[in-house]
Amino acid sequence: MIETAETAKKLHSCAKRWLGFFLLWGTATLFAAPRAVNFPEVSPPTHDIRMENRVPVQMRDGTVLYADVYRPVKDGKYPVIVSRTPYGVELTYAAPVFFARRGYVFVWQDVRGRFESEGKWDPFRQEDLDGFDTIEWAARQPWSNGKVGMQGKSYLGHVQWQAAKTLPPHLVTIFPDVAPTSIYHHAVTLNGGWRLSLAFGWGAVRAESRIGQNPGVYSQETGLEHLSYDQIVWHLPLIEMPKLAGRNSAFYTEWIRHPDYDDYWKAISVEEHYAKLSLPAHTFGGWFDILTQGTINGYVGMAQRGKTVEARQGSQMVIGPWGHGPSQKFGDLDFGPQAMVDVRALELRWFDYWLKGIENGLRDTPPVTLFVMGANRWRYENEYPIARTNYREMYLHSAGKANSVRGDGRLSWSAPLESPPDVFLYDPRSPVPSLGGSNCCGTPTIVGPVDQRSIESREDVLVYTSDVLGEPVEVTGPVKLVLHAASDAPDTDFVAKLVDVYPDGRAINVAEGILRARHREGIDRPKLMEPGRIYSFSIDLVATSNMFEKGHRIQLDVTSSHFPQFDRNPNTGEPFGLSSKLRTATQTVHHSPAYPSHLLLPVIPASGEPAQRP
């Protein structure tokens, strides 16, 4: 049993020394990644390697960050891959060993204030200059040829974008995997809806810990033992939650105090910086990942606004049918072996081209690779969104009784006629539970493509369903709902899900979105509603790629809660996160010639020919 942090450090160092012995003798082939399907295979390792433990890297303010350096035994100058983590470099040796055995130096660093590195931990906020200093340090070392790339997923992808925006002279390329380009837009909120599960489960609990996610937490302050996430997430006001988890999370408190997109969040966004970036970036993500928009925005930002031709034409993107990493099965669906992608193989081909100059066919590959769910095949395109997309409106209809799957809600390509609106009550004391969708890294919820019938039976869920499709309809790209609605509350939420209804009745979600009503005019311009007034709400459902097959139906679910993935809007209009008051809201959804509520779907013409993969 590990008694103290110092004992743990000694054990880690001892384990590293033994690992170094085995690496020297070339036994690291055990870490080789599995063979990929429909993607490049991994080249065999050719180098015996050594590891230098706890190498000091001094930052410009004097703080020392420590890294483990993996490099080939043979003397020489090699390209360098830098990966920076808040989770501890002892967590895994797979990536460092993989790349070092293939002729790279891998610098594997604890970020500021975490594990072996000095300084104060402040998530997301110190990675730009620390990244710059680490990259330039690596470029100056005797084993470096001066070319540096960055690698890693999630937070390890965030640090890549943060470093890139500081323009390190020796940074050649990055490969952010399931990573945000704006923490506010993609991680902490979605369209102003507070991602409670991640903000609390990661921000207030996991990010305060030096171990992995802990499903039970303990509060010394209250004496409550093993208080579960399920209990804590119901607590109000939100700002008090860390106390129940036995945490003193200063940064979580700051997040609560900045519910809008202000200078606090802009300082760690990349969205405003693409035009000054000259390096090619490869983004990688999943349709059900919590950070899908970051994967898309990173590619589109570079492809459309990058400073150089190399950045614009050299950047690439892959999105598969997964959550926060590749899998064949996710949620209720099995997408087949063709869904599996070996990320290491993609990274290796990418770095071999950009850092070693190996002509491996990379530039002959279409830059956009998307998995079409339903059809369960890959699509290769020259741009995103796809240029030949036909954006089609699918309108909401009912006779005023669209409540639940038993109601009369319909979707149609035809514009609506005069009809009574649909009305439902949203009670934050009894929110619609999160079922499927995009979540990770926080409180445990059911995620991915999941049968929605259990929540579609609720009267506070409006369900609109198309006729049975006579021909397949492929929807690939950004999805939006234009909802004409009113509320008797000064603030509320509207949640939308795009659903694929199978012939056997399964209702599988393929995209989702939320809008906090006070942010309807912009996330940086909060404005309360006038109760009873009809507003046009544009709800971003992010994106998907799904083939609604012949015999299926297209469905839309509309409600006002998605808990605990998102916090419950209390409907009071009071300052965010600081009040425990709740009220019930009456929500009215209009669909008439004057208020034509509709989905805007990116339909791919059946006759369109995608780019062919070489």
Tens digits of residue pLDDT in 430-442: 999 999 999 888 7
At a CB cut-off of 8 Å and minimum separation 6, what does 237 contact? 577, 578, 579, 580
Same domain as 222, residue 326:
no
pLDDT digits (tens, 9 = 90+) for 580-602: 999 999 999 999 999 999 999 99
Pairing of strands 227-228, 368-372: unpaired
> 14 falls in which pLDDT band (50, 70, 90)?
very low
Work out the number of other CB atoms within 10 angstroms of the CB of residue 262. Answer: 12
Same domain as 128, residue 275:
yes
Q: Which residue has the tokens 């809007």?
A: 569
- CA gap 246, 229 in Å, rounded: 12
Residue 299 within a domain: yes
Same domain as 402, residue 315:
no
pTM for the full predicted model: 0.91
Mean pLDDT of 525-529: 96
* Contact in structure between 411 and 396 (CB atoms under 8 Å): yes
Same domain as 292, residue 148:
yes
- Pick from 9-23, 97-111, 259-273: least confident: 9-23
Per-residue confidence (pLDDT) for residue 35, from 0 to 100: 38
pLDDT digits (tens, 9 = 90+) for 33-82: 333 344 777 788 899 999 999 999 999 999 999 999 999 999 999 999 99
Element containing residue 148 per DSSP (H, E): strand 144-153
* Contact in structure between 79 and 105 (CB atoms under 8 Å): yes
Taking the alpha carbons at both ends of the chain, their separation in whole angstroms is 53
Give every strand in the sheet of 171-177, ordered side by side. Answer: 49-58, 64-72, 105-110, 78-85, 144-153, 171-177, 282-286, 316-320, 368-372, 377-381
| Helices 155-164 and 127-140, axial angle in degrees (round to 10) | 80
Residue 593 within a domain: yes
Instruction: Mark which of 329, 364, 381 sits at the end of a domain.
Output: 381
Does the pLDDT value for residue 448 go beyond 50? Answer: yes
Does the pLDDT value for residue 204 go beyond 90? Answer: no
Mean pLDDT of 382-400: 98
Q: Look up residue 173 and give its two tokens.
A: 């390329």
Mean model confidence pLDDT for the chain: 90
List phi, psi (to 5°) of 389: -60, 135
| 163, 274, 277, 437 from 169: Cα distances, Å | 11, 16, 11, 40
> 609 falls in which pLDDT band (50, 70, 90)?
low
Helices (H) and strands (E) in the chain, counts: 14, 27
Judge residue 9's burial from the number of C-beta atoms within 10 Å of its C-beta, 0-12 exposed, 13-18 middle, 19 or more buried: middle
Per-residue confidence (pLDDT) for residue 614, from 0 to 100: 38
Longest dimension (CA), the chain: 78
Tell me the CATH number at 338.
3.40.50.1820
Does the pLDDT value for residue 207 go beyond 90? Answer: no
Residue 353 within a domain: yes
- CA gap 571, 172 in Å, rounded: 49
> 92 falls in which pLDDT band (50, 70, 90)?
confident
Does the pLDDT value for residue 27 go beyond 50? Answer: no
Locate all alpha helices (DSSP H) within 145-238, ordered by sequence: 155-164, 183, 196-198, 229-232
Instruction: Mark which of 237, 258, 279 sits at the end of a domain.
Output: 258
Q: Look up residue 423 and give its two tokens.
A: 């009305």
> 251 falls in which pLDDT band (50, 70, 90)?
confident
Per-residue confidence (pLDDT) for residue 41, from 0 to 100: 74
Does the pLDDT value for residue 220 go beyond 50? Answer: no
Per-residue confidence (pLDDT) for residue 527, from 0 to 100: 97
E-state strands within 358-467: 368-372, 377-381, 390-397, 410-412, 422-426, 462-465
Q: What is the DSSP string of 499-513?
A: EEE-TTS-EEEEEEE
Same domain as 283, residue 165:
yes
The larger pLDDT score, comparing residue 248 to residue 460, is at: 460
The larger pLDDT score, comparing residue 225 to residue 459, is at: 459
- CA gap 208, 123 in Å, rounded: 10
> 208 falls in which pLDDT band (50, 70, 90)?
low
Q: Look up residue 204 and give its two tokens.
A: 């207030």
- CA gap 310, 304 in Å, rounded: 12
Same domain as 131, residue 48:
yes
- CA gap 341, 319 in Å, rounded: 10
Same domain as 138, residue 12:
yes
Same domain as 122, residue 137:
yes
Residue 612 within a domain: no
The segment with the largest mean pLDDT, out of 93-97, 228-232, 251-255, is 93-97
The larger pLDDT score, comparing residue 541 to residue 91, is at: 541
* Contact in structure between 187 and 198 (CB atoms under 8 Å): yes
- CA gap 316, 303 in Å, rounded: 8
User: Which sign, positive or negative, has the C-alpha torsion 187, 191, 192, 196?
Assistant: negative
Q: Report long-range pairs for 301-305 (Cβ below 8 Å, ≥24 apart).
A: 301/181, 301/270, 301/271, 301/274, 302/274, 302/277, 303/367, 303/383, 303/384, 304/274, 305/274, 305/275
Same domain as 519, residue 482:
yes
Residue 613 within a domain: no
- CA gap 206, 214 in Å, rounded: 7
Mean pLDDT of 321-329: 95
> 175 falls in which pLDDT band (50, 70, 90)?
very high
Mean pLDDT of 133-154: 98
Instruction: Mark which of 258, 286, 301 sits at the end of a domain.
Output: 258
Mean pLDDT of 451-458: 98
List phi, psi (to 5°) of 147: -105, 125
Residue 226 within a domain: yes
Does the pLDDT value for residue 537 go beyond 60? Answer: yes
Same domain as 213, residue 141:
no
Tell me the CATH number at 475.
2.60.120.260
Q: Label residues 376-396 b or e (16+ Cβ within 10 Å = b).
A: eebbebeebbbeebeeeebbb
Work out the number of other CB atoms within 10 angstroms of the CB of residue 482. Answer: 17
Residue 609 within a domain: no
Same domain as 557, residue 477:
yes
- CA gap 249, 442 in Å, rounded: 15
Split into its structural domains, the chain has a count of: 3
Same domain as 366, residue 223:
no
Residue 306 within a domain: yes
Per-residue confidence (pLDDT) for residue 445, from 0 to 100: 85
- CA gap 269, 178 in Å, rounded: 16
Expressed as residue numbers, the domain containing 234 is: 193-258
Catalytic site residues? 154, 289, 324
pLDDT digits (tens, 9 = 90+) for 51-60: 999 999 999 9
For residue 7, the SS3 value is helix
